[in-house]
Amino acid sequence: MKQNFIQKTKKQALALGLVALLATTSLTGCSSKDSTKDAAKGNAAISYKAGTYTAKATGMHDLTVTVTVTKDKITDVKIDHQETAGIGAPVAESFPNEIIETQGLGLDVVTGATLTSNAILNGTADALKQAGLSDSDIETLKAKKKDVVKEEDKELTADVVVIGAGGAGMAAAVTANQQGKKVVVIETTTKMGGNTILSGGALNAVDDGSKTAKDNKDSVAKHYEQTYEGGDKEGDTKLVHTLTDNAWSGVEWLKSLGMKFYDQPFTVTGGLWPRAHKPEEPEGTGFFKTYQEYMDKNDGITMLYETTAKSLIKDGDVVTGVECTGKTGNKITVKSNGGVVLATGGFGQNVEMRQEANEINKKWPTLDDSIKSTNTSTIKGDGIKMAEEVGADLTQMGNIQLLPLGDPETGSLSGNIEHAVESRIFVNLDGKRFVNEAGRRDDMTLGLFEQKDKTMYIVMDSDTYPNGDELNNFGEKMSDLVAAGRAIKADTLEDLAKQMGVSADNLKASVKEYNRYCKGGDKEGKTDEFGRSLFTDTDGVNNGINTAPYYAAVRVPTVHHTMGGVKINTNTEVLDANNKVIKGLYAAGEVTGGIHGTNRLGGNALTDTVVFGRIAGEKAASFTK
């Protein structure tokens, strides 16, 4: 396994080299000077009907693109949108200028904001068609790329170097900075966030002995037990204890930095218990608003965006820095006086790597590219490969988590209409329940693999969306999802079944059985046929699926989390195959393995980023060669 991943890295590096060469070749034909001239005079061969045109498109939400053109030039692009702050909104702000600057539509889709990027490009194309452009003119504009002039190679030195500006990386960076250290954070994309900013924000933690914990019959011990057993006892017990014992102090740390959470914890899918804390800001944006505010108030954290870490620098037996490639292909060397923290996330978007890892346990029928992923596109296992090249051991690589909740087109969690697990059921294309919907994520998804077309519907009633325009966990309005045909709404179960294309009798029978348990359980002493025990909200408000309108949304299996990765100890020090510490190298977040075992509990990954990110920041700050 180890050898294979390294060999793949080298193969990929060669392939990348080839791409770089081709890119350089195509760029030599057109200097940046030419491109500026081009932009100033527009597109010589293309002629517009002068005027202002509008088009609608759908990103995360509906948006309107307004484009103004003269006879030979795009002069203005305006986007009227409600895209999420920190995710789609920055794209809606930057794309108009880039379209005008390049006089083209060949902009790179922004990682993590694919829907918004494509919506703006498609909307602009539609508006330009109204201005008289043909399909082939649009293709010409799509081929226009921004020219790149290679910048000088450079070298930087910091007290602590962090690779990856997701949740774990930023927790490490802020913690190291709180210890008075100068930190450089290397991030391949244009912004902080990674998978963390896309997350539902559910963060498991128990304030032991508090009224909330008592009301929910919860404790740190129970969190530990469910995490360990939920991962089939494969998690390293010391790491699991570190996770659960320090979860609440992680929440308190975030609060001390200004992050706000709703009071009541809830049960996130596969979380098994109501202990997920939800930030007030949508999705994972609250984490990065908090980290950004910290950086605005405190000097000493330098963000190197559009910089891709390629390899770790080792001096004798100590990791001392990182070799990177800048956005123009230049070499950037970042040296560390203290530790280097790997926080590059998992490998959910690396099809080859996940297929190979799946061979270890053969848990999933396939993880080829017919199965999409919830992850953002840069989550390709770079950190795992870099660590392996300096002798790190990898652990539990075969433990890969899928969710049954992917969008059929993209695999993303966008369009997932569930909130708490208690109030919804899953039915297959026959309208029948097939699994304990409040159970483990792997059981639910394995169950879904066995259903026709590996496809199911989430079904619920208006308890979750009393007005119909409330947001789901991913910041989307239910009414928008219905209007876009991504969710189904009906006044009766018969009509819902008809729109879903499933048997109405079966759907009604499934709902009736579920409702029986919601009304106090089975009076005849029979347990739920799938072993489900979570039926009502902790406040007892939900009494089943019985209040119109009813809602449904179609979902498929999707790769969500990779629990295997770099082996660490409780100090987040990276270990080799003999469990010996690789000096100077720390790792936190999804890049690591061995914490969650075979199956990560919903809500435990964000806890992982905060708990282990903080430890990594602290230990890397105190490391001396």
Ligand X SMILES: Cc1cc2nc3c(=O)[nH]c(=O)nc-3n(C[C@H](O)[C@H](O)[C@H](O)COP(=O)(O)OP(=O)(O)OC[C@H]3O[C@@H](n4cnc5c(N)ncnc54)[C@H](O)[C@@H]3O)c2cc1C
Give the one residue of 309, 342, 371, 482 binding ligand X; rule: CB under 6 A: 309
Closer residue to ligand X (CB): 164 or 584: 164
Q: Which of 108, 112, 86, 88 is nearest to 99 (CA)?
A: 108
Using CA atoms, how far apart are residues 141 and 102, in angstroms rounded to an integer?
9
Q: Are strands 183-186 and 301-304 parallel, antiparallel or unpaired?
A: parallel
Give the one residue of 55, 174, 198, 371 binding ligand X; rule: CB under 6 A: 198
Starting at the earlier edge strand, list the strands of the sheet with 62-69.
Answer: 51-58, 62-69, 74-80
Give the one residue of 116, 374, 451, 464 binding ligand X; rule: CB under 6 A: 374
Task: Name the minimum Å distance from CB 271 to ligand X.
Answer: 8
Task: Name the minimum Å distance from CB 585 to ligand X.
Answer: 15
**Binding to ligand X by residue 379, rule CB under 6 A?**
yes
Task: Name the minimum Å distance from CB 374 to ligand X.
Answer: 4
- Residue 2 structure tokens: 């180890």
Task: Name the minimum Å distance from CB 35 to ligand X.
Answer: 28
CB 275 within 8 A of CB 264: no
CB 188 within 8 A of CB 378: yes
Using CA atoms, how far apart are residues 344 and 385, in angstroms rounded to an integer?
11
Residue 441 known to be catalytic: yes
H/E stretch holding 485? none
- Residue 161, beta-bridge partner list: 184, 340
Give the one residue of 349, 358, 378, 395 binding ligand X; rule: CB under 6 A: 378
**Binding to ligand X by residue 604, rule CB under 6 A?**
yes
Task: Name the minimum Å distance from CB 422 to ligand X.
Answer: 17
H/E stretch holding 157? strand 154-158
Give the one residue of 282, 326, 415, 603 binding ligand X; rule: CB under 6 A: 603
Closer residue to ligand X (CB): 351 or 605: 605
**Binding to ligand X by residue 375, rule CB under 6 A?**
yes
H/E stretch holding 439? none
**Binding to ligand X by residue 336, rule CB under 6 A?**
no
Q: Which stretch binds ligand X (CB under 6 A): 65-73, 115-123, 353-361, 371-379?
A: 371-379
Q: Which stretch binds ligand X (CB under 6 A): 378-386, 445-453, 488-496, 541-549?
A: 378-386
CB 200 within 8 A of CB 474: yes
Task: Name the minimum Å distance from CB 83 to ligand X.
Answer: 16
Using CA atoms, how far apart are residues 12 and 426, in angstroms rounded to an integer?
40
DSSP-assigned letters across all residues of 66-125: EEEE-SS-EEEEEEE--PPTTTTHHHHHHHHHHHHHHTSS-PPPPTT-HHHHHHHHHHHH
Closer residue to ligand X (CB): 275 or 489: 275
Q: Which of 401, 411, 487 is nearest to 446 (CA)?
A: 401
Catalytic residue among 275, 424, 440, 441: 441
Residues 6+ apart with CB under 8 A from 419: 266, 464, 472, 473
Closer residue to ligand X (CB): 429 or 616: 616
Give the one residue of 67, 133, 176, 202 binding ligand X; rule: CB under 6 A: 202
Applying CB under 6 A, what is the total number of residues that bind ligand X?
41
Site string for ligand X, 55-94 (x = CB under 6 A): ----------------------------------------
> Could you tell me the end-to-end alpha-carbon distance of the chain, in angstroms, rounded to an integer?
31
Classified as helix, coil or strand, 482 is: helix
**Binding to ligand X by residue 345, rule CB under 6 A?**
yes
CB 223 within 8 A of CB 204: yes
CB 81 within 8 A of CB 87: no
Amino acid at position 395, single letter:
T
Task: Name the minimum Å distance from CB 336 to ligand X.
Answer: 15
Task: Name the minimum Å distance from CB 357 to ligand X.
Answer: 16
**Binding to ligand X by residue 321, rule CB under 6 A?**
no
> In the range 541-600, which residues lie near ligand X by CB under 6 A?
561, 589-591
Task: Name the minimum Å distance from CB 380 to ligand X.
Answer: 7
Q: Are strands 394-395 and 565-567 parallel, antiparallel or unpaired?
A: antiparallel
Give the one residue of 177, 195, 428, 462 binding ligand X; rule: CB under 6 A: 195
Closer residue to ligand X (CB): 177 or 428: 177
**Binding to ligand X by residue 201, rule CB under 6 A?**
yes
CA 99 to chain centre: 27
Give the one residue of 35, 102, 175, 188 binding ligand X; rule: CB under 6 A: 188
Give the residue closest to ligand X by C-beta.
166
Residues, the chain: 625
Give me the residues that bind ligand X (CB under 6 A), please.
Answer: 163-169, 186-189, 193-196, 198-202, 268, 308-309, 343-345, 374-375, 378-379, 382, 413, 561, 589-591, 603-606, 609
Q: Which residues are catalytic?
A: 441
